[in-house]
């Protein structure tokens, strides 16, 4: 499978980011990758790096084995149903990164027997730092390993049950916005205590990156690391407790639940 040709149907923000990441990581050579969209002039950068660019979805599917669908949710049914007869169950696997399109929807659109995957990355995929949650239906182990390896080039992957896909979307994909709003708020505070905006933003962003790396690289619990910086009677614990009095943790938890309730509607 490692020599498979890949077609990305819908080379917009996410589709192009996946293409760039796969090439950068050398998971695939550009000549084995095809990206489609209607307005192909928008894909000139990919074209310049040797990727096949076309608006012919049918040809892209027929010339590839792995089909990544990165269309907008409202386009998926219409576009894929028109291409149904291009799929071959002995050759193709379909991976959808489309929010809200379920495995059963994909299985109903693709011809019987075509293995289908649902993957939920986030926008950090553009710098190969996504967390991508994956589930599948009708796939062989070898195909599951291949898809996992593909998204491992673009960050980390987590296998989940499909019933957790909405939760994965909120925590992982919406989570980018929550984390960035934290950084923006910290920047605002940093300006008020003396830094110019650029420096405050740099300090806030690198501090969040460092905090995350302490958990990811050293496998630490957040509270263990917090204990290290909260001196008794010190300024960190005073500020932290004030944030909690103002509802810091509670507002995050409530926001996550609100997003989850909204996505389920
Ligand atoms: N952004 C995120 O954080 C994120 C995370 C996880 C999942 N997703 C999902 O990823 C999907 C894509 O999101 P996006 O932000 O990349 O959207 P996008 O930039 O609008 O990309 C969709 C692309 O599909 C192309 N397209 C439309 N009709 C087509 C057709 N008939 N054949 C081939 N291409 C066609 C469009 O280009 P033309 O108009 O030129 O055809 C467009 O570039 C969405 O379903 C979203 O839910 C996004």
Predicted confidence at residue 3, as pLDDT, reads 61
pLDDT in tens, 43-92: 999 999 999 999 999 999 999 999 999 999 999 999 999 999 999 989 99
Average pLDDT over residues 198-204: 98
Predicted confidence at residue 164, as pLDDT, reads 97
Residue minimizing CA distance to atom 24 of ligand 1: 10
Q: Is the pLDDT of residue 157 over 70?
A: yes
The encoded tokens of residue 128 equal: 């190969």
**Percent of the chain predicted with pLDDT > 90:** 95
Q: In angstroms, what is the span from residue 25 Cα to ligand 1's centroid?
A: 22
Q: In angstroms, what is the span from residue 192 Cα to ligand 1's centroid?
A: 39
Q: In angstroms, what is the span from residue 80 Cα to ligand 1's centroid?
A: 13
Average pLDDT over residues 23-50: 96
Q: Is the pLDDT of residue 158 over 70?
A: yes
Predicted confidence at residue 71, as pLDDT, reads 97
Atom of ligand 1 nearest to the CA of 13: 16
Predicted confidence at residue 265, as pLDDT, reads 72
The closest of 179, 195, 189, 175 to 239, measured between CA atoms, is: 189
pLDDT in tens, 212-221: 999 999 999 9
Q: Is the pLDDT of residue 2 over 80?
A: no
Query: What whole-number distance in Å separates Cα of residue 251 and Cα of residue 7?
Result: 41
Q: Is the pLDDT of residue 40 over 90?
A: yes
Residue minimizing CA distance to atom 5 of ligand 1: 122
Predicted confidence at residue 264, as pLDDT, reads 77
Residue minimizing CA distance to atom 19 of ligand 1: 12
Q: In angstroms, what is the span from residue 210 Cα to ligand 1's centroid?
A: 32
Residues whose CB falls within 8 Å of the CB of residue 88, separated by 6 or more in sequence, listed in order: 111, 114
Tell me if 263 sits within 8 A of 166, measured CB to CB.
yes
Q: Is the pLDDT of residue 1 over 80?
A: no
pLDDT confidence bin for 11, thresholds 50/70/90:
very high
Q: Could you tell me what percentage of the chain is helix, strand and coil, using 3-state DSSP and rounding each to the nearest 5?
A: 60, 15, 30
Residue 132 zone, left/alpha/beta (φ > 0; ψ -120 to 50; rest): beta
Q: Best of 21, 38, 101 to mutate for ligand 1, by most ligand atoms within 8 A of CB? A: 38
Between these two residues, 265 and 216, which has the higher pLDDT value? Answer: 216
pLDDT in tens, 94-125: 999 999 999 999 999 998 999 999 999 999 99
Residue 155 zone, left/alpha/beta (φ > 0; ψ -120 to 50; rest): left
pLDDT confidence bin for 211, thresholds 50/70/90:
very high
Predicted confidence at residue 99, as pLDDT, reads 92
3-state secondary structure of 138: coil
Q: Is the pLDDT of residue 247 over 60?
A: yes
Atom of ligand 1 nearest to the CA of 121: 6
Predicted confidence at residue 106, as pLDDT, reads 94
Element (DSSP H or E) covering residue 66: strand 66-69
The closest of 98, 229, 250, 74 to 173, measured between CA atoms, is: 98
3-state secondary structure of 140: coil
pTM listed for this prediction = 0.93
Residues whose CB falls within 8 Å of the CB of residue 222, separated by 6 or more in sequence, listed in order: 215
Query: Mean pLDDT for the chain?
Result: 96
Protein residues whose CB sits closer than 6 Å to any atom of ligand 1 = 9-15, 36-39, 42, 57, 70-73, 75, 79, 97-99, 120-123, 173
């Amino acid at each position: 499978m490692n020599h498979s040709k890949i077609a990305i149907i819908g080379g917009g923000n996410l589709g192009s980011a996946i293409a760039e990441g796969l090439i950068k990581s050398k998971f695939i050579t550009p000549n084995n990758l095809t990206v489609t969209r209607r307005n192909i002039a928008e894909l000139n950068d990919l074209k310049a790096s040797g990727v096949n660019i076309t608006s012919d979805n049918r040809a892209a599917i027929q010339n590839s084995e792995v089909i990544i669908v990165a269309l907008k949710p409202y386009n998926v049914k219409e576009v894929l149903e028109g291409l149904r007869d291009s799929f071959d169950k002995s050759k193709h696997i379909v991976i959808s990164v489309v929010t809200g399109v379920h495995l059963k929807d994909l299985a109903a659109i693709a011809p019987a027997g075509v293995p289908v995957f649902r993957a939920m990355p986030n926008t950090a995929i553009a710098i190969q730092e996504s967390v991508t949650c994956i589930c599948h239906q009708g796939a062989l182990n070898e195909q599951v390993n291949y898809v996992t390896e593909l998204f491992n080039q673009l960050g980390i992957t987590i296998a989940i049950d499909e019933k957790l896909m909405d939760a994965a979307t909120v925590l992982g994909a919406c989570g980018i916005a929550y984390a960035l709003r934290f950084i923006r708020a910290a920047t605002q505070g940093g300006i008020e205590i003396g830094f110019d905006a650029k420096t405050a933003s740099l300090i806030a962003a690198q501090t969040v990156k460092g905090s995350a790396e302490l958990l990811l690289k050293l496998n630490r619990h957040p509270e263990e690391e917090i204990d290290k910086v909260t001196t008794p009677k010190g300024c960190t614990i005073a500020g932290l407790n004030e944030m909690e009095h103002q509802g810091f943790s509670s507002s995050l938890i409530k926001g996550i639940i609100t997003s989850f309730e909204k996505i389920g509607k």
